[in-house]
Structure 1
Amino acid sequence: MRTLFRWLSPIRWIKTAYRWTKTGFFFLVEYCERSLRFQLILTFSFCILAAVLASSVVNLLTEDMYRRPYVDYSYSMESMDWETRDLARRIQEGEVEDNQYLQELMNRAQELRGVQMLLVDLDGKVLMKSSRATESQVDLYSVISKAMELRSGQNWQGERQEFTAFYPVELNGQKGYVIARGIPEATIQYQVEFNGFVPFSFVLVFFYLFYRFTKRKTGYIEELAASLLVISQGKLDHRVNVRGEDELGSLARNINRMTEELQENIERERRAERTKAELITNVSHDLRTPLTSVIGYLRLLRDNAGSEQERSEYTRIAYEKAEHLKRLVEDLFEYATLSGQGVQLHRQHVSLTGMLEQLVEEYVPLAEEQQLTFCKKLPADRIYVSVDPEKFVRVLENLFSNAIKYGHKPGNIDISLMREGEGVRLTVANKADDLSNEDLRRMFERFYRVEKSRSRKTGGTGLGLAIVKSIVELHGGSIRAELQEGILSFHIWLPADAQEAR
């Protein structure tokens, strides 16, 4: 019962209504801020109301200038007509008991309205009349014509003339008419003529307020148009000022976003052009150097230059250069294949832990020759991934080869594997020279080499890490490089095998 009374409490309902009103008010304000259409509707409505109010005030101040008096008899004539109709109704409904009472009614109407009352038969003979009436015979045709003329609206204003009204009645079984005649009293009425100040003030106030209230929005639209013109002239660093949360503010944000994206696309195209130029230069350099050596040594062999031992050495060097040229062409072909569309992966359910252990064992002798030691940090349980074994082995080989070639000697090559989120993370790390942020960012670009001289002794083709990145991304993973305290780490993330997740 107490809960019921609390629920029916008026204070509770007042608080609830206040909260709803407050919530609705804030919602309306927020909607108004976000909707340009609603802002225009409110502005238009307010301007209309203000213009109506202003024109009403102007009309009150100037209406005396346009009021014209005139003499009107209509009120007195309507009173006479009403008195006649009321008398006829009383006679018709039997409220008049005798002729004496009827005579009193006719005399009273004469005293009150100043009208002569007559009761006539169908031939116009006067059967009864008020005290001031003198007629004994009435021309019904003339009376009816004049009464109909007045009823049709003629002669209600203008010159003062006699008014006539009549209504049919039946008294004691005899049909007749109740006729009233009299001169109506004049009243002074006023007619308001057209006031030109009223519509002028309405139009003036409406357009002035609408112009003032919309000036900021129209000015902002002009500012957006001017900004678009500046951007169209190629000044992509120009930004539009964002004002408000409505459609114009959203348009400004979209213009800025479009400009930023266009600027990024242009910069990307410029980088692509520079990369293309670098690609042509690098490919030309990397192909020309071994090819020049091969041609030079073959020319010496053709000309039988040198001793037998020297020609044998020329043959060996030419063969090595040809092998290097072959590897470069193969790397170019592999990168072009991986970068193209429709690359097919032959995925298998593979133990990444076992793959790492097997491949590390194969690289241990090469690492020991360079005074490097592999340090593995692998989980006790097997971690499975769905990869193309042949291509992913190429990823590991490139990372291990880079670590052996560029790692500080003596030193360690740290390999770790762990689960991370819905995938696994593989890390290959070794001590390395200091690298700039640009080197770390561009390390996976094709033909980019930290060593700018592109010497064959200190660098490879510049395609290894680009191939690694392409293969990892084909498998739905990602790779990044970071340098902390002299340790260069390559982190590969791969999604976990769906079979293992089940």
Structure 2
Amino acid sequence: MKKERVKLTAAEKSELFAEGVITVILLLLLNLSVIILINLTILQNKNLVNGIYFLKRTITFAGGRHLWSWQNTFIIFMGVGDLIVLYWRLIRRYHQMQLRHVISELHYIAKGHFDHTISFKVKTDLQKVIDSINSLVDSTVNAINEEKAIEKSKDELISNVSHDIRTPLTSIIGYLGLLKSGVSDPADQQKYLNIAYMKAEQMKSLAHDLLEYTTLKSTSTKLNLSSLHIFSMLEQVAAGFEFEGQEKGIVFNIEARPKDLTIQADAEKLVRVYNNLITNALKYGTGATQINLIANLVNNNEVELRVENNGTQIPEESLKKIFERFYRVEGSRNTKTGGTGLGLSITKSIVDLHHGKIRCESDKDWTRFIICLPLNLKSEKTPA
């Protein structure tokens, strides 16, 4: 936005005009007094008159012209001085008016209009003050917006956690109520117990994920760095999901380029990243037949890790929100898939702790989670 100069009110313009008139009158009176005093001094001293006349006749300019009348010369100098004084008086008063406008703007901001900035500009050091005020306003607005976002995030967190706890808890209470009422059939009793136990496990999983998420978000979280052989880790991770993969007809493929690729990372947390991404692929990658675990050395400073599956494509609008806590691609708050909605948020938090980046790409052929990590995190600043 282009800034304009301070717009003076009609009263201020009148004040400025009155300042100019008064200054001119005072200067004219002062000039008249000075001229009278000088004339009286010269008339009382004939030697001074002769000296002035001699100088006028002696000093000549181009074309044989002599020095003009000393009175006229003196008046010209006084006129120039008067203009300088008049300008100084008017510009000083104008700057005072600018300051009044700035103070008025500050009072307006102080009344609660914290998003208001000073839109005019000046050509004095007062502009630095205006710039500082505007910077402070911008910082305040950002802080207020962040506060609102945090408050909204907390409300959403409470709402989501309450919903995810209430759903299995309602089932547990319902089935325990049936048992309490005296179900005679032992088969039904066992069925109700199994369902109640499964719902209790869901609640336990939610509590565990929520605790891990909040822990990872803490600034005091530290990484236990060690040398990690990527290919060996991928083999161990895939082995843990081999049975579940066979049940769903999914084959795991592992690649590391080079095969002896080693990075500095927190092994436990990085394994949790792979567990979350593979679990996500098994639950939501409908129709998938392959899950690829790939690690590539990009350059001397960076490694790229990929978890790919050829299942159902993730909608474009969901890719932007997929790492948000409690977000589920199916767009519902039910727990039929058994997830807490925190797995990918936890994954992103772990990647952030490693000073890395994660993104998701999905098309009709493949859905890819791509992680970029520094090769040697020892040279990075570990969170305190």
Contact 2:230 2:256 in 1 (8 A): no
Name which of 334, 349, 352 aligns with 1:455.
334
TM-score under structure 2 length normalisation: 0.69
Stretch of structure 1 that moved more, 383-392 or 407-416: 407-416
Count of residue correspondences? 326
Q: Which residue of 2 aligns with 1:299?
A: 177
Partners of 1:489 and 1:229 in 2: CA distance: 55
Decide whether aligned partners of structure 1 residues 243 and 480 sit closer, same or farther in structure 2, where only a CA change above 3 A counts: farther
State the Cα distance separating 1:220 from its structure 2 match.
Answer: 5.2
Quote the Cα distance in structure 1 between the aligned partners of 2:92 and 2:271. Answer: 68
- Describe the SS at the equivalent of 1:394: helix
Amino acid corresponding to residue 433 of structure 1 in structure 2: I
Determine the structure 1 residue equivalent to 2:313: 432
Of residues 434, 456, 467, the one that matches 2:346 is 467
Q: 1:66 matched to which residue of 2?
A: 39
Counterpart Cα distance in 1 of 2:245 and 2:267:
23
Question: Which whole-Å CA distance do the structure 1 matches of 2:357 and 2:87 have between them?
Answer: 60
**Shift of residue 276, structure 1, vs aligned partner:** 1.2
Q: Displacement of 1:378 after TM fit?
A: 2.7
Structure 1 portions without partners, runs of 5+: 1-50, 75-191
Which residue pairs with 1:116 in the alignment?
A: none
Which deviates the most, 267-276 or 371-380?
A: 371-380
Contact 1:451 1:458 in 2 (8 A): no
User: Residues of 2 paired with 1:479 and 1:244: CA distance?
Assistant: 47
- Find out whether 1:276 has 2:249 as its counterpart: no
| Structure (1 or 2) with the larger CA radius of gyration | 1
Q: Which amino acid aligns with 1:446?
A: R
Q: Cα distance 1:219–1:388, how it changes in 2: closer, same or farther (>3 A)? A: same
Q: Secondary structure of 2:234's partner?
A: helix
Counterparts of 1:284 and 1:353 in 2: how far apart (Å)? 41
**Does the 8 A contact of 1:372 with 1:409 survive in 2?**
no
SS of the aligned residue for 1:454 comes to coil
Q: Hey, what's the Cα distance between the residues in 1 that align with 2:135 and 2:253?
A: 48
Q: Name the structure 1 match of 2:11.
A: none
Deviations 1:347-366 (A, max 9, x none): 22111232123323433443
CA distance in 2, matches of 1:414, 1:247: 63
CA distance in 2, matches of 1:441, 1:225: 45
CA RMSD of aligned residues (A): 4.1
Instruction: Write out per-residue CA displacement over residues 61-93 of structure 1, whole angstroms, 9 at most, x where no aligned residue.
Output: 95798246347699xxxxxxxxxxxxxxxxxxx
For 1:9-28, list aligned pairs within 5 A. none
* Secondary structure at the counterpart of residue 416 of structure 1: strand
Of residues 476, 495, 499 in structure 1, which corresponds to 2:355? Answer: 476
SS of the residue aligned with 1:378? strand
SS at match of 1:456: coil
Q: Distance in 2 between matches of 1:64 and 1:327?
A: 101
Where does 1:162-181 land on structure 2 (aligned, <5 Å)? none
Q: Which amino acid aligns with 1:449?
A: R
- SS class of match (1:490): strand
1:481: how far off? Answer: 3.7
Preserved CA contact (<8 Å) 1:482 1:489: yes
Cα distance 1:248–1:384, how it changes in 2: closer, same or farther (>3 A)? farther
C-alpha distance in structure 1 between counterparts of 2:307 and 2:128, whole Å: 47
CA distance in 1, matches of 2:256, 2:180: 56
Q: 1:448 to 1:218 in 2, by over 3 A?
A: farther
| 1:263–1:414 Cα change, 3 Å | farther
> Given the alignment, which residue of 200, 209, 222 partners 2:87?
209
Between the aligned partners of 2:375 and 2:259, the Cα distance in structure 1 is 14
Matched to 2:144, the amino acid is I
**1:377-416 correspondence to structure 2 within 5 Å:** 377-410=255-288, 412-416=290-294
Task: Please report the TM-score for the alignment, with normalisation by the length of structure 1.
Answer: 0.55
Equivalent in the alignment of 2:54? none
Matches within 5 A, 1:350-389: 350-389=228-267
Question: What displacement does 1:217 show?
Answer: 5.5
Give the aligned partner of residue 310 of structure 1: 188
C-alpha displacement of 1:232: 3.3
Matches within 5 A, 1:62-461: 66-67=39-40, 69-70=43-44, 204-213=82-91, 221-241=99-119, 243=121, 247-410=125-288, 412-420=290-298, 422-430=301-309, 431-436=312-317, 439-458=318-337, 460-461=339-340
Deviation at 1:336, TM superposition (A): 2.9
C-alpha distance in 1, partners of 2:129/2:178?
A: 72
Aligned counterparts of 1:342 and 1:71: Cα–Cα separation in 2 = 92
Amino acid at match of 2:268: E
Over 3 Å counting, the alpha-carbon distance change for 1:71 and 1:335 in structure 2 is closer
- CA contact 2:234–2:254 (8 Å) conserved in 1: no
The one-letter code matched in structure 2 to 1:432 is Q
Whether the 8 Å contact between 1:434 and 1:486 is mirrored in structure 2 is no
Q: How much does 1:487 deviate? A: 5.3
Question: 1:153-185 CA distances to partner (integer Å, 9 max, x unpaired)?
Answer: xxxxxxxxxxxxxxxxxxxxxxxxxxxxxxxxx
Structure scoring higher RCO (CA < 8 A, sep ≥ 6) equals 2
Measure, in 2, the Cα distance between the counterparts of 1:242 and 1:463: 48
Maintained 8 Å contact 1:384/1:500: no
What is the SS of the residue equivalent to 1:462? coil
Other structure's SS at 2:241 match = helix
Q: Percent identity?
A: 33
2:159 alignment partner AA: T
Query: What amino acid is aligned across from residue 313 of structure 2 in structure 1?
Result: A
